[in-house]
Structure 1
């Protein structure tokens, strides 16, 4: 039982869109294949992983540090006590060998991507969907067959007028979503309010709309938007200021009593803990968006969930960023509140296995071994090309 090879490839997920902070015209990600010596149906069991959009491919870090550490380790130190499967926690510890604490920048993305592939392999070796494996190991066997998902869109597209924006949002509702998201902060406040009004003319209910500033605002602008957005009963007001400006986030609660969301750009349990300690987040209404693919993977996410429990937060207040099937499995297996979804963007990495439909805002988890990548034909073709 061992890992025989780890392959990485940087792939483009470019798109002519922008949010309040960046454009995606040159966006990339890393695709990873963890190849084991376990043979099923005449082929090695391979685990796959990739990092979420918004952070670029991490191939250099993987090739220079993290992949060599795994492959140079004694294989016996990377498996469970019975020697029947890989141990993601031991592999994580191996990757983090000789790394100083703090500075949770791009290395958290590199480790998180490999960690995803390891968990995919572990669940496949046990011939179980990952969500079932997680439920059995960490949630008393309880899992949610149906998971809430929302449609992330509303980016600033070149030349998109209000009618086209309404058509975009209408298309999400027509596909079964009950909550959609739009970007703010990439235009003036007045223009953003016109965009919101246009979308609400389609949705008819502010609770069906979330807005996301992508960390763009300073204190005064964040407060100005908070005051303006208070006229709507929105699903949430997301990431108003810099992800590490906990004072700004805490101050906003004085101006905005409706739900807020943040956390997608916090890449460790320690940073997440500081948000809970100092960010003024409210466990009865706010949402946490930590993304395992960007924050050291599921091994670290388990630590984050334990920290939240110790601070009186329910896992149900977590709706991860990223729109990938890894977080979808975590949501189903560990009782999170749902998952982000990209119906049209960042393909083939966004979306669900073929045939999985959104019905009344929920998807039903299929019984596919591992994370379920093999059920999405256009994505699996990219993965097979890497591992073959």
Structure 2
């Protein structure tokens, strides 16, 4: 197997929505197509990747550092002892001559290509990614469906409480039992009215509603909100303060009895390990949301899973951020606790295959070889256009 070309581009995923920290008016992401010399049905097999949502495209790093290393590597440097494509060896090639630290946008760039390489490896094996991953990194018996929750509830110009309620009703109609909304971008009193409006749609059941601060709060505000929302018994209180403010997270965990979720903006094994060491998270209830696509890819995510096991954490306490097919396959293969879903945002990249159906907040996996982007028509047109 040899990589014959890599095509890179940018796709807009912009919208008028905002969370407590940023708006998405100029949001985009990187996409890549890794072309191999393996021919199937008269065409070369191609692996596709993109960098999830919430971080901008990383084209400069891809073009100047990551992709040249991959393309210049000797064929054998990317293969395992059986002569098969090995994304872990390719990861070492992409990270060659990179100093420790400096995570963030570099991790995004590597994660894009990592996704494409896993897609390609599973296609070469003619297996859906979740089965290929389970055979190699799991127990060979992947979950046949994955828990998903519907993420939405953003702030938007002119959006009323009635609009928010209609949005959440739409999620329920699509088969989701658990929904998530943004808080922290309005005064506490207003956010409480928004929470109570959504709870009205949920029949007053706070255990079906998660709230997400997107890292906005200082400690005093985090505790104030925690005291106000704890009586609701919410599904979780997410990303309360700056992702690297482990002390803030630890203090909130001491005082807030409900579930805390965080980690979507931690992009390395080292940062995730510091969260576990110093962030006060409780392995009996709290949730780790590291997004493999943003954090150097699955190769690094497997290291994070190993670290979590060593610290007494179950894989079921991991629910990746991002709402995309790559994490869905990973969740099924590694028996994670679920996966985020974006039924209405971040198109064309967000969401699952076009024929995916959610029931009881669970969704099954496609049997298409690889990740299955070919079953997501609007996005596949973008990906195919990279190398048409």
TM-score by length of 1: 0.99
Assess if the C-alpha contact under 8 Å between 1:2 and 1:79 holds in 2. no
SS at match of 1:6: strand
Moved over 2 A (4+): none
SS at match of 1:225: helix
Q: Distance in 2 between matches of 1:370 and 1:255?
A: 44
- Structure 2 partner of 1:239: 239
Q: Which moved more, 1:373-382 or 1:314-323?
A: 373-382
- Structure 1 partner of 2:382: 382
- Structure 2 partner of 1:229: 229
Q: Which moved more, 1:335-344 or 1:350-359?
A: 350-359
Tell me how far 1:136 sits from its aligned partner: 0.5
Q: 1:148-171: CA deviations, max 9, x gaps? A: 000000000110110110000000
- Structure 2 partner of 1:203: 202
Tell me how far 1:387 sits from its aligned partner: 2.1
- Structure 2 partner of 1:326: 326
2:7 is the alignment partner of 1:13: no
Q: Distance in 1 between matches of 2:359 and 2:139?
A: 27
- Structure 1 partner of 2:163: 164
Tell me how far 1:255 sits from its aligned partner: 1.9
Tell me how far 1:354 sits from its aligned partner: 1.6
Assess if the C-alpha contact under 8 Å between 1:151 and 1:343 holds in 2. yes
Q: How does 1:56-67 map to 2 (within 5 A)?
A: 56-67=56-67
Assess if the C-alpha contact under 8 Å between 2:254 and 2:280 holds in 1. no
Q: Which runs of 5+ in 2 are unaligned?
A: none
Q: Distance in 2 between matches of 1:301 and 1:117?
A: 15
Q: How does 1:1-388 map to 2 (within 5 A)?
A: 1-83=1-83, 85-204=84-203, 205-388=205-388
Q: Which moved more, 1:375-384 or 1:126-135?
A: 375-384
Q: 1:35-83: CA deviations, max 9, x gaps? A: 1110011111000000111100000000000000011111111112121
Assess if the C-alpha contact under 8 Å between 1:51 and 1:109 holds in 2. yes
Q: Distance in 2 between matches of 1:43 and 1:158?
A: 47
Q: Distance in 2 between matches of 1:11 and 1:222?
A: 35
Q: Distance in 2 between matches of 1:78 and 1:137?
A: 17
SS at match of 2:133: helix
Q: Distance in 1 between matches of 2:251 and 2:219?
A: 8
Tell me how far 1:254 sits from its aligned partner: 2.4
Assess if the C-alpha contact under 8 Å between 1:148 and 1:337 holds in 2. yes
Q: Distance in 2 between matches of 1:104 and 1:155?
A: 28
Assess if the C-alpha contact under 8 Å between 1:108 and 1:294 holds in 2. yes
Assess if the C-alpha contact under 8 Å between 2:3 and 2:34 holds in 1. yes
SS at match of 2:146: strand
Q: Which runs of 5+ in 1 are unaligned?
A: none
SS at match of 1:254: helix
SS at match of 2:232: coil
Q: Distance in 2 between matches of 1:264 and 1:6?
A: 28
Q: 1:268-288: CA deviations, max 9, x gaps? A: 011000000000000000000
Q: 1:332-359: CA deviations, max 9, x gaps? A: 0010000000001011111111211000
Q: Distance in 1 between matches of 2:237 and 2:371?
A: 30
Q: Distance in 2 between matches of 1:354 and 1:111?
A: 27
Q: Distance in 2 between matches of 1:287 and 1:121?
A: 30
Q: 1:234-273: CA deviations, max 9, x gaps? A: 0000001000000000000222111010000000011000
Q: Distance in 2 between matches of 1:331 and 1:2?
A: 29
SS at match of 1:253: helix
Q: How many residues align?
A: 387
